Structure 1
Amino acid sequence: MSTDRGAPDGSGVLSRAVSHAGVAVLWALHWLPLSVLAPLGGMLGELLFRLAGARRHVVRTNLRLCFPELGEGEREVLARRHFHVLGRSLLERSLAWWAPRARMERIVRLEGEERLRGLLTSGRPVILLTPHFVGLDMAGTRVTMSFDIVSIYANQNNPVFERWLWHGRSRFGNQLLVAREEGVRAAVRGMKQGRPFYYLPDMDYRRKDSIFVPFFGVQAATITGLSRVARLTGAAVVPCVARMLPGGQGYRVELGEAWTDFPTADVEADTARMNRWLEEVIRTMPEQYYWVHRRFKTRPEGEAKPY
């Protein structure tokens, strides 16, 4: 029996069809008011909590390592709350992709905009230090409505979602998206054009360009890029924190005061400072950090992997 080698793979066709159907559902949902969309997202999160066993294990492990002072029952409540806001973020991403500017401005409040504008007007490069909270995509879209930025993105395995993620991050203004393979140097070139660098350095990117510094008291492989890029460019480091608000209240994006006495000559101390700051912010909304990420997958030599 002959086989047509040029024919598309059946599983690939099915995957694309499912992806297109998922995008169509998201498009339909974006018409709903946030007061309806938010509880639907919570329901999706509850379903994920029950069905996504592998990710539930990652979340439980992260919370056990980072919050040993909490009882097991308290951490379980926190894990469930995390999945609820994660479900919300998945559905509400539809707003970042398709909601008109006026609606996005109502849903996502941007605080500290004039402070950032003042830094840019002075000619100083800026790094927006943006942790992985569940409101990250909404924050990114809202920032691009006011500023042309440069950001680094990772290619997605799914080409359908890759297309729409790109669309959501670039549909306002004149944004510069740099593939991770191009490295930070391409982002630095964008900064020299007066673009804030929307920088997310708080995940485990393996050992390259990383050192081990404490994160909630656990040694975590952490990239040193914040210190190095700030030193290379003379950039101000401005915290950019996305807060998902309860129910239909939307989001608040906080552009904080530029860090003082940063960077120093000690890259390790600078990187540890970043993690300490991140811990402080996480404790104000612990359910909203991206705990489904295996933050401690890279371990010091000889140390067992926790997952």
Structure 2
Amino acid sequence: MADTAFSPALLHPRHWPTWAGVGCVWLLSWLPIPLQAMLGAVLGRGIGRLLRGRREVVRTNLRIAFPQAAEREIERMTSAHFADMGRGVFETALAWFAPDWRLRRRGEVTGIAHLKAAMADGSGVLLLTGHFTTLELGARFLCLAGVRFHAMYRPYNNAVMDYLMHRWRENRSGLPALPRDDVRSLVRALRGGRPIWYAPDQALKENVSVYAPFFGVPVRTVSATARLAQMGRAKVVPYFPERRGNRYHVRILPALEGFPQGDEVLDATRINGVIEQGIAFAPTQYFWVHKRYKGLPPGVPPVYGRQRR
């Protein structure tokens, strides 16, 4: 476990710009939530028009995921996605700074019974989700619903952000945050009957990946989900956040039956299918700016840098 105690070194002048930025985010979090939504959508659409290369990445991903959609619909979804990304900036500020009383009436969590059923025999749980624009706020609503879990974290190069991200996640989730590469601590937590927040839909390292279909296209996919579940004697319980206007819904699904199967490709394919199911609830709120189809099998032509129709 990393030492997350506050250090006077974090007040060194070289960190002042970071503290100033955090202070600005704190101030923004106190704007009326409908105003935040409007400003975020405007910000996101503006960025989407400026970042033409990243906009084409979004288009390409959407064309792969929704091959039956007309080009006009793809363009509409692309613009909506950037608006959702912009709103996600303000939603992250809310997740970090808003007091409980300000958020409680803004969202609901359904399906908690599925999580309780999975843990009734003392099993640990991988709370499986994907990278959505509402990711941080969705996790906060889980906390508000009384779900205590270990949050995974990636160490930051910026010392202030590393300290703050760790503390924010730990203070909100109720259990210590765990480094995502510390397999021993993750397995120990699962065997101890505790939930761990887990989003395996972006890492593309070859040594922990297999090729499995994602929206019908074989792509490098994390295979560690099955290994963690097996090593930790844990169950996999999917959950997905969704923005509905200026309200939020977090949907917890039943634990996966018969998982893992013992075949890396079959298990990774099933996890991708679960993520696809979550995307279907809120298609434009998924993190489509990520180059998910960068890790294609050898010999397959790249999809980015050219249009795919």
Cα distance in 1 between the residues matched to 2:114 and 2:220 = 32
In structure 2, do the counterparts of structure 1 residues 69 and 173 end up closer, same or farther at CA, with 3 Å as the change threshold?
closer
Q: For the Cα contact (< 8 Å) 2:150–2:173, is it kept in 1?
A: no
Unaligned runs of 5+ in 2: 1-11, 305-309
In structure 2, do the counterparts of structure 1 residues 190 and 144 end up closer, same or farther at CA, with 3 Å as the change threshold?
farther
> In structure 1, what is the equivalent of residue 247 of structure 2?
250
In structure 2, do the counterparts of structure 1 residues 64 and 204 end up closer, same or farther at CA, with 3 Å as the change threshold?
farther
Cα distance in 1 between the residues matched to 2:285 and 2:26 = 24
In structure 2, do the counterparts of structure 1 residues 129 and 275 end up closer, same or farther at CA, with 3 Å as the change threshold?
same
Q: Does 1:32 align with 2:68?
A: no
- Cα distance, 1:16 vs. partner? 5.1
> In structure 2, what is the equivalent of residue 10 of structure 1?
none
Cα distance in 1 between the residues matched to 2:193 and 2:107 = 24
- Cα distance, 1:14 vs. partner? 10
Q: Does 1:142 align with 2:145?
A: no
Residue 99 of structure 1 aligns with an amino acid whose one-letter code is: A
Q: 1:266 is matched with which residue: 259, 263, 266? A: 263
Cα distance in 1 between the residues matched to 2:227 and 2:283 = 28
1:213-252 mapped onto 2 (5 Å cutoff)? 213-246=212-245, 249-252=246-249
Q: Does 1:306 align with 2:306?
A: no
> In structure 2, what is the equivalent of residue 4 of structure 1?
none
In structure 2, do the counterparts of structure 1 residues 231 and 140 end up closer, same or farther at CA, with 3 Å as the change threshold?
same
In structure 2, do the counterparts of structure 1 residues 95 and 167 end up closer, same or farther at CA, with 3 Å as the change threshold?
farther
In structure 2, do the counterparts of structure 1 residues 91 and 159 end up closer, same or farther at CA, with 3 Å as the change threshold?
farther
Q: 1:277 is matched with which residue: 274, 279, 300? A: 274
The number of residues matched between the two structures is 292
Greater CA deviation, 60-69 or 172-181? 172-181
- Cα distance, 1:132 vs. partner? 1.2
- Would you identify which runs of 4 or more consecutive aligned residues in structure 1 move more than 6 Å? none
> In structure 2, what is the equivalent of residue 154 of structure 1?
154
Q: For the Cα contact (< 8 Å) 1:131–1:278, is it kept in 2?
A: yes
Residue 265 of structure 1 aligns with an amino acid whose one-letter code is: G
Cα distance in 2 between the residues matched to 1:243 and 1:167 = 25
Cα distance in 2 between the residues matched to 1:234 and 1:211 = 22
Cα distance in 2 between the residues matched to 1:206 and 1:60 = 24
Q: Does 1:106 align with 2:105?
A: yes
- Cα distance, 1:274 vs. partner? 1.5
Greater CA deviation, 276-285 or 189-198? 276-285
Q: For the Cα contact (< 8 Å) 2:150–2:170, is it kept in 1?
A: no
- Identical-pair percentage: 35
Q: TM-score under structure 2 normalisation?
A: 0.86
Residue 193 of structure 2 aligns with an amino acid whose one-letter code is: G
Cα distance in 2 between the residues matched to 1:294 and 1:173 = 29
> In structure 2, what is the equivalent of residue 180 of structure 1?
180
Q: TM-score under structure 1 normalisation?
A: 0.86
DSSP 3-state at the match of 1:181: coil
Greater CA deviation, 13-22 or 162-171? 13-22
Greater CA deviation, 224-233 or 287-296? 224-233
Residue 59 of structure 1 aligns with an amino acid whose one-letter code is: V
Cα distance in 2 between the residues matched to 1:72 and 1:157 = 40
Residue 221 of structure 1 aligns with an amino acid whose one-letter code is: R
Unaligned runs of 5+ in 1: 1-12
CA deviation string 1:217-268 (max 9, x = no partner): 111100112222222233221111011121xx32111111112222213232
Residue 156 of structure 2 aligns with an amino acid whose one-letter code is: Q
> In structure 2, what is the equivalent of residue 67 of structure 1?
66
Cα distance in 2 between the residues matched to 1:181 and 1:125 = 18
Cα distance in 2 between the residues matched to 1:74 and 1:118 = 40
> In structure 1, what is the equivalent of residue 75 of structure 2?
76
In structure 2, do the counterparts of structure 1 residues 84 and 217 end up closer, same or farther at CA, with 3 Å as the change threshold?
same
Cα distance in 1 between the residues matched to 2:49 and 2:14 = 23
Q: Does 1:169 align with 2:166?
A: no
Residue 253 of structure 1 aligns with an amino acid whose one-letter code is: V
DSSP 3-state at the match of 2:258: coil
In structure 2, do the counterparts of structure 1 residues 280 and 147 end up closer, same or farther at CA, with 3 Å as the change threshold?
closer
Cα RMSD for the two superposed structures? 2.2
DSSP 3-state at the match of 1:299: coil
Q: For the Cα contact (< 8 Å) 1:176–1:190, is it kept in 2?
A: no
